[in-house]
Amino acid sequence: MKSVNRRDFLKLTGSGLIGMTIGGVALRANAQERVDPASQQAAALKYVEKSPVEGSYCDNCMYIAGEDGADWRPCAIFPGKVVAAKGWCSAWMKKP
C-alpha cells in the first residue's frame, strides 16, 4: 500500500477544495441566470419583467419558487433560471 506524505495530501485536498469551490460558483451562477424576455420560450409566453396585469405578478403565481421577498426567483416554467418577482407571463396562475 502506498503511503501519502504531507505534501501529497495537501495537493490532493487543495485541488479538491478548489474543484468544489469552482463547481459551487458555477452552480450558483447558473441558478441566478435571469430569463431573457427576448428568448424564444419567454417571447412565446409573453414574459415581461414588469407585469402589465394589475394584481398578477410572478411572486403571487403558483409556479414561483424560492424565497418570498426576493427580487429574482426560480420559476417552474423556466427551469434553472430566475424571473423578476414583479414580472408576468401568460402561464400565470394564482397561487393557492
Which of 5, 50 has the CB closer to ligand SF4? 50
Residue at grid coordinates 427580487: 71
Q: Give residues 6-45 in contact with ligand SF4 (rule: CB under 6 A).
A: none
Residue 60 and residue 69: Cα distance in Å, rounded?
11
Residue 19 and residue 21: Cα distance in Å, rounded?
5
Which of 11, 95 has the CB closer to ligand SF4? 95
Which residue of 72, 81, 82, 92 would you call a contact of ligand SF4, by CB under 6 A? 92
Contact between 42 and 78 (Cβ < 8 Å): yes
Q: Which residues bind ligand SF4 (CB under 6 A)?
A: 47, 58, 61, 63-64, 75, 77, 83, 87-89, 91-92
